[in-house]
């Protein structure tokens, strides 16, 4: 038997989440059984802990789109009992039971070996948010971003993706400008390496001019909407924006002028279906280029019973940094 956070749909149509005892026979099909040590909380998890947000297909359901732990059993030759592994994406925690349990059974293709030097706790302080941040940095680098070219903007900087992106970019020698709507997070963002704090209101509205002064050498944007449209017009010639989220809306009230007059690049970043080799590369970069002391400063610890409240909080934008869930507590 093992414990899991199970979400059930009631006859009324509402959902209810509670910690329950489960048997291994309850687990879905898969190649590898993992003893889960840690998970985390992402925006998608907030949806799946509540109404499902259109992501969950069947109830009862075990959310948790990220997990890290140790292989207990495997029918795939790539993994053996005792191997430390991490899983993000692949619709796990949405259409497939996820990491909010002491055990999970998944496809071997979904797993990545945990890099040397990273604990399962650190891996979940990174999670999907941190992996997305690293993929964004790698994409900016592939399109020419180098330290010393000018400030790099990070929107939604106090959130999960933004926190890790800020820490990585600062560690790599970039001048980081962190956008936040919460003045109380300034000291936190500066501790991660931000050298400049940009109030969200400064970028919250679009302007009639499609081009403004060239300010940013690169950007990691988790907001989208009007803010993304605004910052496109402020990018330096040939600079790139890595788009990773839509907290401010999925619409883009912009023109093509920044693309055709300044050669600005808009780079879409997906971590859910990212190929295996790219995942391995990103996790190796995380182990090398994310300062562990700064990662530790982002962590908010939690247990399984804390998850329903944390799910509501992250949907309201009230979670700072990274939640690390010890599923054994």
Report how far residue 254's alpha carbon sits from residue 206's, in angstroms, rounded to the nearest whole number: 8
User: Which residue reads 């933004």 in tokens?
Assistant: 162
pLDDT at position 29 over 90: yes
pLDDT in tens, 150-183: 999 999 999 999 999 999 999 999 999 999 999 9
pLDDT of residue 99: 98
The model carries a pTM of 0.94
Average pLDDT in the chain: 96
Residue-range domains of the chain with CATH: 2-114+298-326 (3.90.180.10), 127-268 (3.40.50.720)
pLDDT of residue 166: 98
Report how far residue 107's alpha carbon sits from residue 308's, in angstroms, rounded to the nearest whole number: 27
Of 47, 166, 41, 147, the closest CA to residue 95 belongs to: 47
- Give SS3 for 86: strand
Lowest mean pLDDT among 147-161, 196-210, 249-263: 196-210
DSSP secondary structure string for all residues of 5-39: EEEEE-TTS-EEEEEEEE-GGGSPP-SEEEEEEEE
pLDDT of residue 205: 79
pLDDT at position 206 over 80: no
CB-based contacts of 318: which residues, under 8 Å, 6+ apart? none
DSSP annotation of 173 = T
pLDDT at position 75 over 80: yes
pLDDT in tens, 234-245: 999 999 999 999
Q: Which two tokens stand for residue 41?
A: 């909380």
Alpha-carbon Rg of the chain, whole angstroms?
20
């Amino acid at each position: 038997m093992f414990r899991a956070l199970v979400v059930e749909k009631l006859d009324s149509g509402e959902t209810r989440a509670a910690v329950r005892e489960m048997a291994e026979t309850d687990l879905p099909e898969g190649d590898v059984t993992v003893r889960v040590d840690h998970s985390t909380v992402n925006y998608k998890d907030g949806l799946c802990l509540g109404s499902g947000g259109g992501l969950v297909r069947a109830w009862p359901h075990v959310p948790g789109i990220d997990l890290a732990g140790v292989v207990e059993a495997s029918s795939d030759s790539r993994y053996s009992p005792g191997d430390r592994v991490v899983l993000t994406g692949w619709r796990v925690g949405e259409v497939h039971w996820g990491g909010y349990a002491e055990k999970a059974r998944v496809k071997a293709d979904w797993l990545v070996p945990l890099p040397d030097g990273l604990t399962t706790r650190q891996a979940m302080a990174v999670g999907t948010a941190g992996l997305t941040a690293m993929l964004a940095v790698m994409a900016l680098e592939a399109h020419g971003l180098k330290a010393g070219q000018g400030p790099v903007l990070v929107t939604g900087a106090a959130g999960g993706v933004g926190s890790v992106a800020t820490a990585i970019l600062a560690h790599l020698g970039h001048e980081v400008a962190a956008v936040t709507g919460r003045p109380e997070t300034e000291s936190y963002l500066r501790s991660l390496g931000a050298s400049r704090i940009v109030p969200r209101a400064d970028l919250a509205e679009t302007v009639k001019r499609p081009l403004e002064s060239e300010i940013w050498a690169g950007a990691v944007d988790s907001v989208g909407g009007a803010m993304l449209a605004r910052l496109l017009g402020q990018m330096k010639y040939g600079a790139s924006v890595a788009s990773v989220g839509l907290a401010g809306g999925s619409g883009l009230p912009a023109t093509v002028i920044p693309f055709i007059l300044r050669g600005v690049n808009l780079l879409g970043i997906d971590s859910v279906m990212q190929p295996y080799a790219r995942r391995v590369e990103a996790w190796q970069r995380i182990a090398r280029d994310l300062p562990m002391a700064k990662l530790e400063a982002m962590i908010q610890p939690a247990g399984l019973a804390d998850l329903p409240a944390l799910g509501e909080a992250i949907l309201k934008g009230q979670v700072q940094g990274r939640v690390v869930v010890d599923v054994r507590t």
